[in-house]
Amino acid sequence: MTDRDDDFSEAVIRVLEALQPGDVMAYGEIATEAGYPGAARAVGNLLRSTPGLPWWRVVNAAGRLAPGSEKEQAQRLRTEGVKVVEGRVVAR
């Protein structure tokens, strides 16, 4: 891993750890907030490879849940008061 990778990971993890119950952000929003606009896929890769991060609070740009984990993600989000309809987060 390069220093740039470490910097990216640390910046994204800071953004993810700042999310509170009920907060939901898109992969691209996380990347931008971390200072790496356009790195949405890299955010997804980091979430898949780093246990313990609040992955369920991250959706795609259209509000869709993570493929293959939709049921668990929807359950976790609903527990936090987020409205999920047909596999998509609905704005409050």
* Of 33, 58, 57, residue with least CA distance to 44: 58
Mean pLDDT of the chain: 94
Q: What is the mean pLDDT of residues 22-41?
A: 97
pLDDT at 54: 97
pLDDT of 33 strictly over 90? yes
Asked if 23 contacts 57 with a C-beta cutoff of 8 angstroms, the reply is: yes
Tokens for 19, please give them: 């999310």
Domain CATH for 74:
1.10.10.10
Residue 35, strand partner residues: none
Structural domain range at position 52 = 3-90
Domain count, the chain: 1
Tell me: pLDDT of 3 over 90.
Answer: no
pLDDT of 2 strictly over 80: no
Q: What is the predicted pLDDT for the residue at 92?
A: 64
Alpha carbon separation from 65 to 11, 21, 23, 36, 57 (Å, rounded): 23, 16, 14, 22, 9
